[in-house]
Copies of this chain bind each other. A is one copy, B any other.
Amino acid sequence: MTPQASTPAYRRLSVEERRSQLLEAALSLFAHRAPEDVSLDDVAEAAGVSRPLVYRYFPGGKQQLYEAALHSAADELRTCFDEPHEGPLLPRLSRALDRYLGFVDEHDTGFSALLQGGSVVETSRTTAIVDGVRRAAAEHILSHLGVAEPGPRLRMTIRMWITAVEAASLIWLDEEKQPPPDELRDWLVEQFAAVLAVTARRDAQTDALVQALAMDL
């Protein structure tokens, strides 16, 4: 380790590096405290920089910082869904869920605050960011299922399952992260297969997918 690396406050960072450093510090604070309880002072302290510096990067104050941190978390969350289109389908879903649950575990309180709403900093813009991630999740699943034009029943099934996964994540955080993440992941994958099978009884498109999934295993 060079001396510079151990004293990050005095290293000359590029604008982008500095911004990332501040967002990272903010995200680590949001992970253990409600957004309304995190001040710009706290972020400055956590990042080891001066308060004016934080204000220079986020002149809109707390709300701007929160939205920027949320954008950065949403981008990170999206990368959880990146999974090669190779091999059996359910194990792909399983690997994506592993990364997603890792994200939930890491961001903890910030994740709950965001999804539960009712926070003082919630605005229609933050809701739009979260909805964007939900849509991305649904699109990823459909692309792995190889469906370009999902019918309403298949689309509804997938959106319902995504919402159920969110609910499970919040309950999981609330219940001291029980059951263990591996069990939760397997359980969620099984629920996915089960609700698809239910929809298959009333929808030919979903039925064809369920047949393909069964051959896949």
Contact = CB atoms under 8 A, between A and B. Distances in A.
Contacts of A195: 191, 194-195
Interface string A118-129: 110011101110
A200 to B, nearest CB: 11
Interface residues of A, number: 39
Contacts of A153: 179, 187
Interface stretch (A42-50, A63-71, A75-83, A164-172): A164-172
A163 B163 CA distance: 7
A199 B197 CA distance: 15
Interface of A: 116-119, 122-124, 126-128, 152-153, 155-156, 159-164, 166-168, 171-172, 175, 178-179, 183, 187, 190-191, 194-195, 197-199, 201-202
Closest 4 CB pairs of A and B: A118-B127, A163-B167, A117-B117, A160-B164
